[in-house]
Every structure is written in structure tokens, then in C-alpha cells.
Amino acid sequence: MDFDPRTVAFYTETNLREDEVIYNSGDVIVLKGGDKYYKKFLSCIIGASVECKIFEHGDGHGKSETLKPGSYVFNLSHMNGISRIEVKEGSVDSIMNVRFEIGVNLVTADSFKLTLTPQKDPFVIPLCKNYSKVTLPKLDQNPDITIQVSVQRVESPSEIVASGPAYFKYDSKSGRIYPQKNDKLASSIFINQIDHNSFVFALVGLPGGK
């Protein structure tokens, strides 16, 4: 089941275990002595469209912490118990997990790197089995995402062998990122969606069929 990006979930044990309690955007919860969950929460999930501020004491004194949209917090024991929770709409910075690989049909001894530029700063991703994190623009302000894509040889001459824009759209209701029609992206770059925000970019061909 998808986690509602406009909610937060708190758990009474570390590592998101035991009792689950859901709060919504706009909620301000003050837990007092005698309440079932007074100082009981030890981990939480923060939806992708909200941020959450937690306090040690109900009057806002003591320790406090602001949890960013999309956070998974597996241990809150450092708070000495939580007595106040404030949930509000957050400015959504989303993370896209990206892996770069060579297509199985492409036989080459060359090494390549993938560069993704969703804003001003480029993210360079090597050929690797692990995922790299790419920070996207404020998705609550503009759900349409354009990422400039280029694949370049690592060795000299370090020519660009494929490039173009890739288009995605953020769905605030599901918290998912969906690829759109990418007719301007080089046909030798294949994008495969693995889960709601994880993608594999594969180089499946070279100029001139090399």
C-alpha cells in the first residue's frame, strides 16, 4: 500500500515497529500525561508533501527537531519522549534514485559516465550497480520535471555519445515520479522505472552502431 504523502506515521518502537498512529497535514497534537501515546513514539515516517516538527514537551520547550518531507526516522530515543507534534505542508525536495548501466546488447570496451542536470548543478553518475541520489527541484511548486541527460566517454576523446532532455511528472497525491514521453531524448538512452522514484538509465547504442 502506498504511503499517503500528506500524512505522517509514528510508531511506539524503533525501526517503524509496533503501534502505528497516523496524523495529517495541519494537525497539532499535544500529548499529556495519562494519554496512551504520551512520550511513547520512537520512530516515524514523514510523507513526501509535509514536514513535521516534534517537541520534547507539550509547551514547545526542551528538545525539538524539524523532520523534512520524505524522511524515515528509525530511532527517536534522543528526544527523551515526544509530547507535541506539528504537521504542515512542506516545500517538497524530492530525491530520484538513479543507476547507470550498459545495455546487454551493447558490446564495447569503452567506459562511460551519465550526467543528469535537473537544475543548475549536474549530477555525474558512473557505471555502477549502486544507485546514486539526484535532488530534484521544488516539486510542490512545479510538478513538471525536465532533466538534461548526457552520456560521455570517460577516456579521451571524451565525446558525448548521447544526450537530450528527459521529462517526468510528480504526482502529489501518490508521491510518485512518472516518466513522460521522451521523444527528444536520444533513442540510444533507455529509461526503466524500478519503483516510485528509482530509475535505471541504460545506454543501448552508440553513434554509427559502434
Domain boundaries, position 73: 7-89
Q: What is the pLDDT of residue 166?
A: 95
124 lies in the same domain as 155: yes
Band (pLDDT 50/70/90 cuts) for residue 202 is very high
Band (pLDDT 50/70/90 cuts) for residue 195 is confident
Domain boundary among 89, 105, 123: 89
What's the whole-number mean pLDDT along residues 7-36? 94
Q: What is the pLDDT of residue 1?
A: 42
How far apart CA 55 and CA 61 sit, in angstroms, is 7
Q: Are strands 72-73 and 43-46 parallel, antiparallel or unpaired?
A: antiparallel
The answer, as to whether pTM is greater than 0.85, is no
DSSP assignment of 127-193 equals B-SS-EEEEEEETTT--EEEEEEEEEESSSS--EEEEEEEEEEEETTTTEEEE---TTS-TTEEEEE
Domain count, the chain: 2
Question: Which residue's C-alpha cell is 548526457?
Answer: 150
What's the whole-number mean pLDDT along residues 85-110? 78
Domain boundary among 89, 105, 127: 89
73 lies in the same domain as 163: no
141 lies in the same domain as 201: yes
Residue 2 is assigned to a structural domain of this protein = no
> How confident is the prediction for the chain on average, in pLDDT?
87
What's the whole-number mean pLDDT along residues 123-151? 84
Q: What is the pLDDT of residue 140?
A: 61
What's the whole-number mean pLDDT along residues 165-179? 83
Residue 105 is assigned to a structural domain of this protein = yes
Question: How confident is the model over 49-79, as pLDDT tens digits?
Answer: 788 999 999 999 999 999 987 788 999 999 9
Q: Which residue has the higher pLDDT, 92 or 41?
A: 41
